[in-house]
Structures are given as structure tokens and as C-alpha cells.
Amino acid sequence: MQRPRRTARPCRGSVAASPTVVSLAALLALSVASVAYAEKVDKDKPVNIESDKLSIDDVKKESVFEGNVVLTQGSLMLKADRVVVRQDQQGFNYGFAFGKPAYFRQKREGTDEFIEGNAERLEYDGKQDKVQLFTNAQIRKGLDEVRGDYISYDAVTEFYQVIGGGKVAATPTNPTGRVQVIIQPRRTDKPEQPKGGKAEGTSPPADSAPGPSLKPSNLLR
């Protein structure tokens, strides 16, 4: 006889759940943020999850958080209307976050910079080690930004893909629904010049090479 699904009463505040449930939910958020080389120390921080409702199906190894879900772990934060985490018979983990939009934010490793992103659906496939953002997908790093109707990252091949949705995905800020990449110019700090003239020995050689070119792929690295 199949065991029934357990349902927690609606409540606010931290939801007490099994270690498996917590680790799966954290895995979803960390995997989504992995496109930014997330801060490594976050993995050692406690996981806090808040929701209005939590349902656990022990047979299916599935947990569903519903109602203003907020997950935090160190600098990582994930917000969604609904989060589903499950594990298959082979032990692979899968996570799904839904919202209008679902949103994540995390500090990048070795910098003071944060990366954040949002989409109506975030998915993590532990078997393929792949993260996908569906519908009105955006990833922002500082003032740089990439937008598309679909963004994916394959951790095995380190391959990124951004796809526009055409007129179906059109918005007031993107009426064509095409992929948009915004890269701000990088500031180059120059030595302060003394008043009244140029400092001796500061003139660059005539054949000096330009700095490294900016590429859209740098947004996701």
C-alpha cells in the first residue's frame, strides 16, 4: 500500500524539513547560480527555507514548497512562488522553481560583485548537470546583462546557450523578442598626472597593444 503524501500546515517562518529535502532545495539554488562561479564558502553555510506550505512524498522522493518561497544559504538567495525538488532511483537530483519571476542572487567567488538572474521557470537536471532558465530569462553581472527567452548552461561541456523567442516573447523593452546583450565599458585606472604638464616617462609607446576585447561570453563567466 502506497504511503500518503505528508502536508505541512501553512505557516511563515523557517520550515523544518528532512536533511534530504533541504539539501535538494539548496542544490537547485546553487546550481542555478553556478553560472557565476558562486562563492565556495556558501556550501558550508546553513540552509534556511521559508514557505507557506510544504508537501513531502516519501515514496516519490519529492518535496514541494509553495507560497512565497525564500531560500538562503550564505550570500545565496532564491525566491519563487513554488519550488519542487525530487530525486530519482539512481540518486540524481532535479529541481524546479516557478515564479513571476523566480529570482536568484549570489556573490561571485573572489570578488565583491554579485550575479543575479530571473525567469518564470528555473530548472536543474542533476543527471545531465544542466541549468535552464525559461521565459523572460535574464542574467545580470554588475551593469552587464544578457536577456533571452531561454538561457542554459551545461556544466559538463561548459557550454552556454541563449535563445530569443521572437514576437511570442516580445516585451515593452524588447518588442522583437530577440537576444539582447548589454556590456558596459570597462574603466581603466590611469596614474594621476601632475598639474601643469605631463609626468616624465609616462607617455605610452606608439605601438602599444590595445586591451583585451570584450565578449558576450564573459557575462556568464
Percent of the chain past pLDDT 90, that is, above it, reads 19
Cell of 22: 533541504
pLDDT at 29: 61
User: Out of 12-16, 54-58, 144-148, 163-167, which region has the weakest mean confidence (pLDDT)?
Assistant: 12-16
Dihedral of the alpha carbons of 211, 179, 98, 68, in degrees to the nearest 10: 60
Q: For residue 158, tell me if it sits in a domain.
A: yes
Under the banding of pLDDT at 50, 70 and 90, the label for residue 27 is low
pLDDT at 124: 86
Residue 53: strand, helix, or coil:
strand
Q: What's the domain count of the chain?
A: 1
Q: For residue 101, tell me if it sits in a domain.
A: yes
Q: Which domain holds residue 44?
A: 6-187
For the cut 90, the answer to whether the pLDDT of residue 159 exceeds it is: no
- CA–CA separation, 143 and 184 (whole Å): 6
| Cβ(99)–Cβ(82) below 8 Å | yes
| Span 57-77, average pLDDT | 89
Q: For residue 195, tell me if it sits in a domain.
A: no
Under the banding of pLDDT at 50, 70 and 90, the label for residue 92 is confident
The pTM for the full model equals 0.68
Max mean pLDDT range (4-18, 56-70, 98-112) = 56-70
Question: Who has greater pLDDT, 24 or 67?
Answer: 67
Domain with 134 in it: what CATH number? 2.60.450.10
Q: For residue 111, tell me if it sits in a domain.
A: yes
The average confidence (pLDDT) of the chain is 75
| Cβ(164)–Cβ(179) below 8 Å | yes
For the cut 50, the answer to whether the pLDDT of residue 11 exceeds it is: no
pLDDT at 128: 87
Q: For residue 173, tell me if it sits in a domain.
A: yes
Q: For residue 210, tell me if it sits in a domain.
A: no
- CA–CA separation, 16 and 200 (whole Å): 67
Q: For residue 207, tell me if it sits in a domain.
A: no
Under the banding of pLDDT at 50, 70 and 90, the label for residue 33 is low
Q: For residue 217, tell me if it sits in a domain.
A: no
Beta strands, E only, 76-143: 76-87, 93-107, 114-125, 130-141
| Span 199-212, average pLDDT | 45
pLDDT at 68: 95
